[in-house]
Amino acid sequence: MSMIMTMSSDPHDPSKIPGHNAAVSPEESFRQAGRATAVSAIRAAMEQFGSLTGRTPEAVSGVRALPEGGWSVLVDVVELERVPATTSVMATYRVDVDATGELFACERLRRFTRGTTDI
């Protein structure tokens, strides 16, 4: 299952993620559900990725369930801000979280300029 989701107005605000409840931490969300949902996995992946790298996630460009019960989330970030913004260097990272919401793998998959498209 893949999905594309772009955050609106303030990309630094995790409450822009659909289904986000600021009163419930990603870890608590996993405990309540007993297993991660796509929304809770996205929230956990974005929060832990930001803490680990110091980069603010700009968008989520994909999510898929892993056979062992976790989730793989594709997170897009700005690596080098430029003017005009269409020339900024972006990167897509794969961030894997396990069934309890803990990040267990993270790797950069590609770098690109914001103004480019995949063919």
Residue-wise pLDDT tens digits, 53-101: 999 999 999 999 999 999 999 999 999 999 999 999 999 999 999 999 9
Predicted TM-score (pTM) above 0.95: no
Q: List beta partners, residue 64.
A: 72
Structural contact between residues 77 and 54, judged by C-beta atoms closer than 8 angstroms: no
The DSSP letter of residue 10 is -
**Radius of gyration for the chain, computed over Cα atoms and rounded to the nearest angstrom:** 14
The values of phi and psi at residue 23, to 5°, are -75, -15
